[in-house]
Structure 1
Amino acid sequence: MTLITIPKNASTEAKLQALVDENQIVDAIHRYTAGLDFGDADLLESALTEDATVDLSLAMAKIGYEFPPLTPRSTIMGGLLPAVGPLDTSHRISNVRVAITGDTATLTCYAQAQHYLPGHGPKPEETRQALMMNRYQAELVRSRDSWRIQTLLIDNAWFSGDPTILIG
Protein backbone atom coordinates (compact mmCIF):
# COMPACT_ATOMS: atom_id res chain seq x y z
CA MET A 1 0.00 0.00 0.00
CA THR A 2 1.21 3.48 -0.78
CA LEU A 3 0.16 6.71 0.79
CA ILE A 4 0.06 10.14 -0.76
CA THR A 5 -1.44 13.29 0.66
CA ILE A 6 -4.22 14.79 -1.40
CA PRO A 7 -5.69 18.04 -0.08
CA LYS A 8 -9.34 17.66 0.89
CA ASN A 9 -10.28 20.72 -1.12
CA ALA A 10 -8.55 19.45 -4.28
CA SER A 11 -10.69 19.12 -7.39
CA THR A 12 -11.77 15.69 -8.56
CA GLU A 13 -9.44 16.08 -11.54
CA ALA A 14 -6.49 16.87 -9.23
CA LYS A 15 -7.32 13.88 -7.03
CA LEU A 16 -7.50 11.55 -10.02
CA GLN A 17 -4.21 12.91 -11.41
CA ALA A 18 -2.52 12.33 -8.03
CA LEU A 19 -3.69 8.71 -8.04
CA VAL A 20 -2.54 8.19 -11.63
CA ASP A 21 0.84 9.74 -10.80
CA GLU A 22 1.23 7.59 -7.70
CA ASN A 23 0.47 4.45 -9.70
CA GLN A 24 3.01 5.39 -12.38
CA ILE A 25 5.66 6.25 -9.77
CA VAL A 26 5.25 2.88 -8.07
CA ASP A 27 5.30 1.23 -11.49
CA ALA A 28 8.74 2.76 -12.12
CA ILE A 29 10.25 0.89 -9.15
CA HIS A 30 8.50 -2.30 -10.29
CA ARG A 31 9.88 -1.84 -13.83
CA TYR A 32 13.36 -1.40 -12.34
CA THR A 33 13.23 -4.58 -10.23
CA ALA A 34 11.38 -6.67 -12.83
CA GLY A 35 13.93 -5.59 -15.45
CA LEU A 36 16.65 -7.02 -13.20
CA ASP A 37 14.67 -10.16 -12.32
CA PHE A 38 13.89 -11.04 -15.93
CA GLY A 39 17.13 -9.71 -17.47
CA ASP A 40 14.91 -7.40 -19.56
CA ALA A 41 16.99 -4.46 -20.81
CA ASP A 42 14.02 -2.60 -22.31
CA LEU A 43 12.03 -2.82 -19.09
CA LEU A 44 14.97 -1.73 -16.94
CA GLU A 45 15.80 1.13 -19.29
CA SER A 46 12.16 2.31 -19.24
CA ALA A 47 12.44 2.88 -15.47
CA LEU A 48 15.47 5.20 -15.62
CA THR A 49 16.18 8.69 -16.88
CA GLU A 50 19.10 9.01 -19.26
CA ASP A 51 21.15 10.74 -16.53
CA ALA A 52 20.06 8.34 -13.77
CA THR A 53 22.25 7.34 -10.84
CA VAL A 54 21.92 4.06 -8.92
CA ASP A 55 23.98 4.06 -5.74
CA LEU A 56 24.45 0.65 -4.12
CA SER A 57 27.58 1.70 -2.21
CA LEU A 58 25.95 1.68 1.25
CA ALA A 59 24.33 -1.73 0.76
CA MET A 60 27.43 -3.34 -0.69
CA ALA A 61 29.74 -1.87 1.98
CA LYS A 62 27.64 -3.58 4.66
CA ILE A 63 28.40 -6.97 3.10
CA GLY A 64 32.08 -6.20 2.57
CA TYR A 65 32.35 -4.85 -0.96
CA GLU A 66 33.19 -1.50 -2.51
CA PHE A 67 30.78 -0.57 -5.26
CA PRO A 68 30.78 2.91 -6.81
CA PRO A 69 27.57 4.71 -7.79
CA LEU A 70 26.55 3.93 -11.36
CA THR A 71 25.69 6.81 -13.70
CA PRO A 72 24.39 7.47 -16.37
CA ARG A 73 21.73 4.98 -17.51
CA SER A 74 24.09 3.31 -20.00
CA THR A 75 26.55 2.56 -17.17
CA ILE A 76 23.72 1.23 -14.97
CA MET A 77 22.57 -1.03 -17.78
CA GLY A 78 26.11 -2.26 -18.44
CA GLY A 79 26.85 -2.80 -14.75
CA LEU A 80 23.68 -4.22 -13.24
CA LEU A 81 22.01 -6.18 -16.01
CA PRO A 82 24.95 -8.51 -16.75
CA ALA A 83 25.51 -9.06 -13.00
CA VAL A 84 21.93 -9.59 -11.78
CA GLY A 85 20.06 -10.50 -14.97
CA PRO A 86 21.50 -14.02 -15.33
CA LEU A 87 20.86 -14.91 -11.67
CA ASP A 88 17.73 -16.68 -10.51
CA THR A 89 16.50 -13.67 -8.61
CA SER A 90 13.31 -12.08 -7.41
CA HIS A 91 12.58 -8.72 -5.82
CA ARG A 92 9.57 -8.00 -3.63
CA ILE A 93 8.63 -4.38 -2.98
CA SER A 94 6.81 -3.32 0.20
CA ASN A 95 6.12 -0.40 2.55
CA VAL A 96 5.97 2.03 -0.37
CA ARG A 97 5.63 5.74 0.41
CA VAL A 98 5.29 8.41 -2.25
CA ALA A 99 5.51 12.21 -2.05
CA ILE A 100 4.74 14.19 -5.21
CA THR A 101 5.68 17.81 -5.85
CA GLY A 102 4.71 18.89 -9.35
CA ASP A 103 6.82 16.93 -11.83
CA THR A 104 9.13 15.40 -9.21
CA ALA A 105 8.52 12.73 -6.59
CA THR A 106 10.24 10.86 -3.80
CA LEU A 107 9.59 7.17 -3.24
CA THR A 108 10.78 5.10 -0.29
CA CYS A 109 10.25 1.38 0.09
CA TYR A 110 11.75 -1.93 1.11
CA ALA A 111 13.03 -4.32 -1.54
CA GLN A 112 13.66 -7.89 -0.48
CA ALA A 113 15.81 -9.62 -3.06
CA GLN A 114 16.51 -13.36 -3.20
CA HIS A 115 19.43 -14.41 -5.41
CA TYR A 116 20.59 -17.85 -6.55
CA LEU A 117 23.22 -18.76 -9.11
CA PRO A 118 21.80 -19.20 -12.64
CA GLY A 119 19.72 -22.38 -12.86
CA HIS A 120 19.93 -23.11 -9.12
CA GLY A 121 16.86 -21.26 -7.83
CA PRO A 122 14.30 -23.97 -8.64
CA LYS A 123 16.36 -26.74 -7.02
CA PRO A 124 14.95 -27.66 -3.57
CA GLU A 125 18.32 -28.99 -2.40
CA GLU A 126 20.10 -25.70 -3.20
CA THR A 127 21.07 -23.79 -0.08
CA ARG A 128 23.67 -21.38 -1.48
CA GLN A 129 21.83 -18.09 -1.86
CA ALA A 130 21.93 -14.39 -1.02
CA LEU A 131 18.90 -12.78 0.61
CA MET A 132 18.87 -9.02 1.11
CA MET A 133 16.39 -6.61 2.63
CA ASN A 134 17.23 -3.22 1.21
CA ARG A 135 15.84 0.24 1.79
CA TYR A 136 15.28 2.17 -1.43
CA GLN A 137 15.05 5.94 -1.64
CA ALA A 138 14.30 7.18 -5.13
CA GLU A 139 13.90 10.58 -6.71
CA LEU A 140 11.74 10.45 -9.81
CA VAL A 141 10.77 12.85 -12.57
CA ARG A 142 7.79 12.94 -14.88
CA SER A 143 8.70 12.24 -18.50
CA ARG A 144 6.47 12.50 -21.55
CA ASP A 145 5.00 9.02 -21.17
CA SER A 146 5.75 7.93 -17.60
CA TRP A 147 7.63 8.59 -14.39
CA ARG A 148 11.30 7.59 -14.31
CA ILE A 149 13.90 7.14 -11.61
CA GLN A 150 16.56 9.86 -11.61
CA THR A 151 18.39 8.72 -8.47
CA LEU A 152 18.10 5.52 -6.49
CA LEU A 153 19.96 5.12 -3.21
CA ILE A 154 20.01 1.55 -1.89
CA ASP A 155 20.94 0.77 1.71
CA ASN A 156 20.93 -2.67 3.31
CA ALA A 157 18.74 -3.36 6.37
CA TRP A 158 19.87 -6.99 6.72
CA PHE A 159 21.57 -9.76 4.77
CA SER A 160 21.61 -13.56 4.90
CA GLY A 161 23.59 -16.02 2.83
CA ASP A 162 26.61 -15.93 0.56
CA PRO A 163 27.53 -12.47 -0.76
CA THR A 164 29.82 -13.89 -3.44
CA ILE A 165 26.71 -14.81 -5.45
CA LEU A 166 26.25 -11.09 -6.08
CA ILE A 167 29.71 -10.45 -7.49
CA GLY A 168 30.13 -13.49 -9.72
Structure 2
Amino acid sequence: MTETTTSFPSVTLADRAAILDTLHRYTAGLDLGDADLLASSLTEDATVDLGPAMRRIGYDFPPLRPRESVVSALIGAVGPLDTSHAISNVRSTVDGDVATVHAYAQAQHFEPGRGSDPAATRHALMMNRYTATMVRDGERWRIQHLDIANAWFDGDPTVLLGE
Protein backbone atom coordinates (compact mmCIF):
# COMPACT_ATOMS: atom_id res chain seq x y z
CA MET A 1 0.00 0.00 0.00
CA THR A 2 1.39 3.39 -0.95
CA GLU A 3 0.79 6.47 1.09
CA THR A 4 -0.38 9.56 -0.78
CA THR A 5 0.28 13.01 0.61
CA THR A 6 -0.97 16.34 -0.59
CA SER A 7 1.01 19.51 -0.08
CA PHE A 8 -0.91 22.59 1.05
CA PRO A 9 0.50 26.08 1.50
CA SER A 10 1.51 26.62 5.10
CA VAL A 11 -0.93 28.52 7.29
CA THR A 12 0.33 29.54 10.71
CA LEU A 13 -1.86 29.72 13.78
CA ALA A 14 -1.28 33.48 13.80
CA ASP A 15 -2.58 33.68 10.21
CA ARG A 16 -5.64 31.61 11.10
CA ALA A 17 -6.40 33.82 14.11
CA ALA A 18 -5.93 37.02 12.08
CA ILE A 19 -8.10 35.72 9.23
CA LEU A 20 -10.85 34.78 11.69
CA ASP A 21 -10.51 38.21 13.31
CA THR A 22 -11.11 39.78 9.89
CA LEU A 23 -14.37 37.86 9.47
CA HIS A 24 -15.39 38.85 13.00
CA ARG A 25 -14.59 42.54 12.37
CA TYR A 26 -16.70 42.39 9.21
CA THR A 27 -19.75 40.80 10.87
CA ALA A 28 -19.46 42.70 14.17
CA GLY A 29 -19.32 45.93 12.17
CA LEU A 30 -22.66 44.94 10.62
CA ASP A 31 -24.23 43.85 13.92
CA LEU A 32 -23.10 46.92 15.82
CA GLY A 33 -23.70 49.39 13.00
CA ASP A 34 -20.02 50.33 13.40
CA ALA A 35 -18.73 51.78 10.12
CA ASP A 36 -15.12 52.04 11.34
CA LEU A 37 -15.03 48.40 12.47
CA LEU A 38 -16.54 47.24 9.19
CA ALA A 39 -14.08 49.38 7.21
CA SER A 40 -11.16 47.89 9.17
CA SER A 41 -11.95 44.50 7.65
CA LEU A 42 -11.81 45.70 4.03
CA THR A 43 -9.13 46.83 1.60
CA GLU A 44 -9.62 50.23 -0.03
CA ASP A 45 -10.53 48.53 -3.32
CA ALA A 46 -12.76 45.88 -1.70
CA THR A 47 -15.67 44.27 -3.53
CA VAL A 48 -18.54 42.62 -1.66
CA ASP A 49 -20.94 40.65 -3.86
CA LEU A 50 -24.21 39.84 -2.10
CA GLY A 51 -25.88 39.18 -5.45
CA PRO A 52 -25.89 35.36 -5.23
CA ALA A 53 -27.49 35.45 -1.75
CA MET A 54 -30.04 38.13 -2.60
CA ARG A 55 -31.07 36.61 -5.96
CA ARG A 56 -31.87 33.39 -4.12
CA ILE A 57 -34.56 35.26 -2.16
CA GLY A 58 -35.84 37.28 -5.10
CA TYR A 59 -33.80 40.50 -5.13
CA ASP A 60 -31.24 41.83 -7.57
CA PHE A 61 -28.28 43.37 -5.80
CA PRO A 62 -25.18 44.61 -7.65
CA PRO A 63 -21.65 44.08 -6.29
CA LEU A 64 -20.53 46.85 -3.96
CA ARG A 65 -17.14 48.52 -4.44
CA PRO A 66 -14.90 50.18 -3.24
CA ARG A 67 -14.68 50.13 0.59
CA GLU A 68 -16.48 53.48 1.06
CA SER A 69 -19.44 52.27 -1.00
CA VAL A 70 -19.49 48.87 0.75
CA VAL A 71 -19.51 50.48 4.19
CA SER A 72 -22.10 53.11 3.28
CA ALA A 73 -24.50 50.62 1.69
CA LEU A 74 -24.19 47.90 4.33
CA ILE A 75 -24.30 50.18 7.38
CA GLY A 76 -27.29 51.94 5.83
CA ALA A 77 -29.16 48.70 5.16
CA VAL A 78 -28.09 46.31 7.93
CA GLY A 79 -26.94 48.78 10.60
CA PRO A 80 -30.44 49.83 11.71
CA LEU A 81 -31.66 46.22 11.98
CA ASP A 82 -31.28 44.06 15.07
CA THR A 83 -28.86 41.49 13.69
CA SER A 84 -26.49 38.81 14.83
CA HIS A 85 -24.00 37.02 12.61
CA ALA A 86 -22.24 33.82 13.66
CA ILE A 87 -19.21 32.62 11.68
CA SER A 88 -18.33 28.92 11.52
CA ASN A 89 -16.55 26.24 9.47
CA VAL A 90 -13.72 28.59 8.51
CA ARG A 91 -11.19 27.06 6.12
CA SER A 92 -8.29 28.99 4.66
CA THR A 93 -5.29 28.53 2.42
CA VAL A 94 -2.50 31.06 2.38
CA ASP A 95 -0.08 31.72 -0.44
CA GLY A 96 2.32 34.43 0.68
CA ASP A 97 0.25 37.53 1.44
CA VAL A 98 -2.97 36.25 -0.16
CA ALA A 99 -5.52 33.95 1.48
CA THR A 100 -8.55 32.17 0.12
CA VAL A 101 -11.15 31.75 2.85
CA HIS A 102 -14.38 29.77 2.97
CA ALA A 103 -16.82 30.07 5.88
CA TYR A 104 -20.46 29.85 6.86
CA ALA A 105 -22.26 32.88 8.24
CA GLN A 106 -25.62 32.43 9.91
CA ALA A 107 -27.34 35.77 10.22
CA GLN A 108 -30.56 36.56 12.06
CA HIS A 109 -32.25 39.86 11.19
CA PHE A 110 -35.13 41.58 13.02
CA GLU A 111 -36.74 44.94 12.48
CA PRO A 112 -35.06 47.77 14.41
CA GLY A 113 -35.72 47.45 18.14
CA ARG A 114 -37.56 44.12 17.78
CA GLY A 115 -34.72 41.62 18.26
CA SER A 116 -35.22 41.34 22.02
CA ASP A 117 -39.02 41.25 21.82
CA PRO A 118 -40.23 37.70 22.57
CA ALA A 119 -43.41 38.47 20.61
CA ALA A 120 -41.48 39.40 17.45
CA THR A 121 -41.95 36.71 14.84
CA ARG A 122 -41.09 38.66 11.71
CA HIS A 123 -37.47 37.93 10.93
CA ALA A 124 -35.03 36.97 8.17
CA LEU A 125 -32.70 34.09 9.04
CA MET A 126 -30.02 33.27 6.49
CA MET A 127 -27.27 30.69 6.26
CA ASN A 128 -24.75 32.06 3.81
CA ARG A 129 -21.54 30.71 2.37
CA TYR A 130 -18.70 33.22 2.31
CA THR A 131 -15.85 32.89 -0.17
CA ALA A 132 -13.24 35.56 0.37
CA THR A 133 -9.92 36.64 -1.01
CA MET A 134 -7.97 38.35 1.76
CA VAL A 135 -4.64 40.15 1.65
CA ARG A 136 -2.14 40.66 4.42
CA ASP A 137 -1.84 44.29 5.54
CA GLY A 138 0.95 44.33 8.10
CA GLU A 139 -0.23 42.20 11.03
CA ARG A 140 -3.87 42.24 9.85
CA TRP A 141 -5.68 40.57 7.03
CA ARG A 142 -8.31 42.46 5.04
CA ILE A 143 -11.04 41.33 2.66
CA GLN A 144 -10.33 42.25 -0.93
CA HIS A 145 -13.21 40.31 -2.48
CA LEU A 146 -16.15 38.64 -0.73
CA ASP A 147 -18.80 36.55 -2.47
CA ILE A 148 -21.87 35.71 -0.38
CA ALA A 149 -24.08 32.83 -1.53
CA ASN A 150 -27.20 31.69 0.28
CA ALA A 151 -27.46 28.07 1.46
CA TRP A 152 -30.95 28.45 2.99
CA PHE A 153 -33.38 31.08 4.17
CA ASP A 154 -36.22 31.25 6.70
CA GLY A 155 -38.60 34.13 7.30
CA ASP A 156 -39.61 37.32 5.55
CA PRO A 157 -37.07 38.72 3.07
CA THR A 158 -38.64 42.19 3.22
CA VAL A 159 -37.11 42.60 6.72
CA LEU A 160 -33.77 42.97 4.92
CA LEU A 161 -35.10 45.92 2.95
CA GLY A 162 -36.52 47.77 5.95
CA GLU A 163 -40.10 47.27 4.74
Considering the TM-score relative to the shorter chain, is it more than 0.5?
Answer: yes
Partners of 2:9 and 2:94 within 8 A in 1: no
Structure 1 unmatched ranges of 5 or more: 8-14
Structure 2 unmatched ranges of 5 or more: 1-7
How far off its partner does 1:78 sit?
Answer: 1.1
In the alignment, the residues of structure 1 paired with residue 41 and residue 21 of structure 2 have an alpha-carbon distance, to the nearest angstrom, of: 8
Quick one: which of 145, 151, 159 aligns to 1:151? 145
Number of aligned positions between the proteins: 155
Task: Please show how residues 130-145 of structure 1 align to structure 2 within 5 Å.
Answer: 130-145=124-139
- Give the equivalent residue in structure 2 for 1:80: 74
Helix, strand or coil: the match of 1:121? coil
In the alignment, the residues of structure 2 paired with residue 153 and residue 6 of structure 1 have an alpha-carbon distance, to the nearest angstrom, of: 22
In the alignment, the residues of structure 1 paired with residue 13 and residue 152 of structure 2 have an alpha-carbon distance, to the nearest angstrom, of: 32
Runs of 4 or more, structure 1, over 4 Å off, are none
Task: Please show how residues 9-158 of structure 1 align to structure 2 within 5 Å.
Answer: 18-158=12-152
What is the identity percentage for the equivalent residue pairs of Structure 1 and Structure 2? 62
How far off its partner does 1:112 sit?
Answer: 0.3
| C-alpha RMSD of the superposition | 1.2
Q: What are the Cα deviations for residues 46-80 of structure 1, in whole angstroms up to 9, with x where unaligned?
A: 00000000000000000000000000001101110
Helix, strand or coil: the match of 1:44? helix
- Label 1:39 to 1:103 Cα distance change in 2 as closer, same or farther (>3 A): same
The TM-score with structure 2 as length reference comes to 0.92
Matched to 2:125, the amino acid is L
In the alignment, the residues of structure 1 paired with residue 9 and residue 145 of structure 2 have an alpha-carbon distance, to the nearest angstrom, of: 24
How far off its partner does 1:22 sit?
Answer: 1.2
